[in-house]
Every structure is written in C-alpha cells, then in structure tokens.
Amino acid sequence: MMYRKEKGSRVIENYNIYQYSKKELFMLIFQGIIFCTFFGFLFYNSLIGVLLLLPFVFIYVKGKKAEYIHKRKWQLNTEFKDALLSLIAALNTGYSIENAFHQALIDLRQMYGEGSLIIPEFETIVNKIYMNQNTEDILSDLGERSDVEDIKNFAEVFRTAKRTGGDSIRIMRSTEKTISEKIEVEREIQTLISGKRLEAKIMNIMPCGIICYFRISSPGFLDPLYGNFLGVFIMTAVLAVYYGIIRVTKRLTDIRV
C-alpha cells in the first residue's frame, strides 16, 4: 500500500533554500520597518532618515534565511534520530529493511504532528520503496537534498553495508548514537553561551539606551547632531560602527557543532 501525503505536507527539494510563508514574510518586513523607523528617528530625528534606512529591511529579511535554514536542518536531524530508533526497533522484531521503513513511518505518525519534516520524507521513502527503487539511492537523495552531515554519512555507510552484506542494525545504532551525542553537545554549548549571548544583547542595546537617555533627560543636548551635514555624517559613522559591532557579537556567540 502506498502512502498518500497529508494535506499541506510536502517534501523539500533543497534544504539550503528557504521560502518564507506569507505570514513569515509579513512579520519580518514589519519587524524590519519597525527597526528602521526606530533607528531613523533615533540617529537622524527625521522621516528622511527613516526612508533612507528602509532598504535595510530587505537585508534584514534576507539575513534571517540562514537562521531559518539552520533551524530546519536541526529539526530534521533531531527527527531523523528518532526515525532511526523506530527503524532499529522494527528490525529487532524481524522486519526486513524495506518493511522497517513502513513500520517506522507508523511510529513517526504517532510521535509527531503537523509541522514535522521527517514524516513527509518517510512517506516519500516508503512510496519509492513500493515502486521498487533502491533504498540506498533513496537515502542518498535525502542526504543530498538535506545537506545534513549525519544523514549523508548514514546514507553512504548504509549503501556500503547493503552492498557488502554488513550489519545494518549496528550501523543504525552507531549513527543514532553519533547524532544523539552531537545534539547533546550542541545543547550543552548553547546552555553555556546563553549567558554570554544575553550579555552581548545588553551591550548592543546600551548605545541606543544612552542616546534615548540624553534625548529624554536633556532635550536639545544632541540637537547639534541633527539637521546638518556634519551631524548626519557623524551619526551615520556611529550607526555603521554600531551595526558592525552587532554583526561581530552575533558571530562570536553563534557557536554550532
């Protein structure tokens, strides 16, 4: 029996390419406009300054794609680990490799709900198996499309084991253990640097806080920096340095396995 895909679910052709949903795109554009409005009035005290900063909305929206891609790959890798556990359990009860994928899909349907990435992938795997396609080719395709190192490595080792008559269960256990350890290490790293990331965010907010403080507590103190060429030049330089510092601190605190 071939599985039909659930409504709204689809296999992702390339995990390195992210297409925003209408809701995501609207929210990101809205956030970008808010940021540009805030910085435009804070650094230039002018609607013209806001308009000049609006092109950065597109930079903001484009820059968020890398974060979304990483999160999606992380989700797929985590769910793939659970899928391997289901495959191992099915193989231990005597299922063949092909039927084990069928049984694992049943388990995954009970484990995950809407929004899962692994269920559409396993639906495709099961359908292709029923169409007599090679399991190793199907897994290699998943590895290439996802560009997730653990999945690609598993596909290669699985292909070798299938051709040489290796122990598939042992390979799956080894891969599942490796993925679990990597996920645990990354979680520990994120926990360790969460404090530093919070400190970096506070330090990034401080310059804006200082400017806001002067504008509220001492009206007119910063007026020489607004409405004239020299002031615009100085504030633009400050804003450029500020943006560069934010990018550097983000890279320093964005540690991944």
Please give the average per-residue pLDDT across 214-227, as a whole number: 84
Percent of the chain with pLDDT over 70: 95
The predicted structure's pLDDT at residue 6: 41
Instruction: Please state which of the ranges 1-5, 104-108, 171-175, 202-206 shows the lowest mean pLDDT.
Output: 1-5
* DSSP-derived secondary structure letter, 44: T
Residue whose tokens read 């659970």: 82
The predicted structure's pLDDT at residue 4: 41
Spatial neighbors of 206 by CB under 8 A, at least 6 apart, are none
Please give the average per-residue pLDDT across 16-44, as a whole number: 93
The pLDDT of residue 9 is above 70: no
Task: Give the model confidence (pLDDT) of 229-257 as tens digits.
Answer: 888 899 999 999 998 988 888 887 776 65
The predicted structure's pLDDT at residue 207: 87
The pLDDT of residue 49 is above 80: yes
The predicted structure's pLDDT at residue 1: 42
The pLDDT of residue 213 is above 70: yes
DSSP 51-92: HHHTTHHHHHHHHHHHHHHHHHHHHHHHHHHHHHHHHHHHHH
Task: Give the model confidence (pLDDT) of 87-144 as tens digits.
Answer: 888 888 888 888 889 999 999 998 887 788 999 999 999 999 989 888 889 999 999 9
The pLDDT of residue 3 is above 50: no
Q: Is 197 exposed, middle or buried (0-12, 13-18, 19+ CB in 10 A)?
A: middle
Tell me the whole-structure pTM to 2 decimals.
0.80
The pLDDT of residue 199 is above 70: yes
Q: Where are the domains of the chain?
A: 22-193
Q: State the amino acid at position 100 in one-letter form.
A: A
The predicted structure's pLDDT at residue 255: 65
